[in-house]
Every structure is written in C-alpha cells, then in structure tokens.
Amino acid sequence: DAGVIQSPRHEVTEMGQEVTLRCKPISGHNSLFWYRQTMMRGLELLIYFNNNVPIDDSGMPEDRFSAKMPNASFSTLKIQPSEPRDSAVYFCASSLGGVWGNEQFFGPGTRLTVL
Amino acid sequence: GENVEQHPSTLSVQEGDSAVIKCTYSDSASNYFPWYKQELGKGPQLIIDIRSNVGEKKDQRIAVTLNKTAKHFSLHITETQPEDSAVYFCAASMGNYGQNFVFGPGTRLSVLP
C-alpha cells in the first residue's frame, strides 16, 4: 500500500487566494483526520470524518476553512481566502475506526506558505 | 476537554544512554495513549501505544508505562542510537470510534555520537 497520499507537498500562495489541499487515505480505512502543525501550537486536529461523515469540526479555526469527503478515497481541505497566519504544515491521517485504540497513519504533509 | 502536557521540550543524550519523556493528561476518561516519532520533513509515525487496561508495554528498546491514578505516562528508550534523534509526541484519546487524539507539544530528542 502506498500509504496516505497528500498533494501538493508544497504550496506557496498570496494572501486572499483560495487554497485546496488533497488527501487520499489508505484503502479500507474509514476514519480520516486533518491536522495542522505549527511551531507555536503544535499538532492540532482540525476535523475528522468517519465513513465520509464529518464527526467533529470543532478544531476548524474559522469559516474560511472547510473540508469535504465526497467518497471513501478522497478528501479536501479548503482555505478561502487564505491569510499569512494559515502558513503551516497540514497533515492528513487515516485509521480503521470503530476499534479501540487504532493507529492513525499520517501522510507526508503539505507545507503551506501564504505570503 | 483533554489537555496533554509533555516534558522535557528538548532532550540531549549520549549514544547508548537512556532517554525518558513524560506526559500528563487531564481527562480521566482517556484510555488510549500512543507515542509518535516525527523525523524532519515527514509525518508522525506510531512507535508504541498503550491502553488503559495495561500498566506497561515493551517493544525491543522502547517501553511505555502508564499510571492511571496519577494520569501520567512515560516513554523510555534504552541504548539510544543516532537514528533515534527526532521529535516525539505523546497523545491521549478516549478511544471512541472517532479516535480523537489530543497531542502533547512534542520533545526534540538529540542523540549525540
């Protein structure tokens, strides 16, 4: 298995532009997580899905952020409009939910820079 | 909600020595505690985990201990090697079907040759 796949790996954009990050979870996993990592705030959970349904989006910082999971093999995280403070590494992770204590497998991350 | 603290934030040890990283959590309902290792430019990777019905778990040079009463758990790495140098994160979860992890701030471990 190729593991969790994220694209792009790096994104540089200007303030005000729309940014879309993409994730393909491991086949067969039914839980998907979006995290943001910064030096100041560490690893923060933004939102997670179970069976393509958003379960908890309380970590989404504001309305500029939105996430979708149209099917079991694809998810997007969108920022519109982007701001310099959104600069971070965004990770997608997947796991086999429904079982106590299942490993989350992380993708390589997308490094976002908003100028 | 759950809050996870982690100490120390940085740790330097000589190759061959042991390293210990400690975490505390606030929510007594948490019952699953994974440890992740993150190398530069990569995503975190699970190295060991422990469930609340177990007090200790060992996997070769790595061990984790859990004290539910005190709400703290620790990672022990023995016979450290340069390739152990990385950032280590602890996490706590209530282990529900959603697997909502709360991560500690991380410990940067440097193993000096």
Contact with chain B for residue A18, Cβ under 8 A: no
Rounded CA-CA distance A20/B65 in Å is 41
Task: Give the pLDDT band (50/70/90) at residue B95.
Answer: low
A60 CB contacts (<8 Å, ≥6 apart)? A46, A47, A66, A67
Are B99 and A97 within 8 A, CB to CB?
yes
Rounded CA-CA distance A106/B76 in Å is 23
Task: Give chain B positions within 8 Å (CB) of A55.
Answer: 98
Q: What does DSSP assign to residue A84? A: G
For chain B, give the mean pLDDT: 93
Q: Express each pLDDT in A89-111 by its tens digit.
A: 999 999 986 666 678 999 999 99
Task: Give the pLDDT band (50/70/90) at residue B61.
Answer: very high
What's the farthest any 2 CA atoms get from each other in chain A? 42
Rounded CA-CA distance A65/B36 in Å is 26
Helix (H, G, I), strand (E, B) or coil at B94: coil
Are A100 and B98 within 8 A, CB to CB?
no
Residue B98 pLDDT > 60, yes or no?
no
pLDDT of residue B99: 64
Greater confidence (A5 vs B32) lies with A5
Count other Cβ atoms within 10 Å, centred on residue A49.
24
pLDDT of residue A52: 93
Q: Express each pLDDT in A26-37 by its tens digit.
A: 999 989 999 999
Q: Mean pLDDT, to the nearest integer, of A4-21?
A: 97
Closest CA to B105 of B13, B19, B25, B45: B25
Helix (H, G, I), strand (E, B) or coil at A115: coil
Task: Give chain B positions within 8 Å (CB) of A97.
Answer: 97-99
Task: Give chain B positions within 8 Å (CB) of A4.
Answer: 43
Residue B63 pLDDT > 70, yes or no?
yes
Percent of chain B clearing pLDDT 70 (strictly above):
96
Q: Express each pLDDT in B4-50 by its tens digit.
A: 999 999 999 999 999 999 999 999 988 889 999 999 999 999 999 99
pLDDT of residue A96: 85
Q: Which residues pair with A43 in a beta bridge?
A: A37
Pairs across A and B, CB distance < 8 A: 66
Contact with chain B for residue A104, Cβ under 8 A: yes
Task: Give chain B positions within 8 Å (CB) of A48.
Answer: 98-100
Q: Where are the beta strands (DSSP E) in A14-80?
A: 19-24, 31-38, 42-50, 53-56, 65-71, 74-79
Are B43 and A97 within 8 A, CB to CB?
no
Rounded CA-CA distance B76/B67 in Å is 14
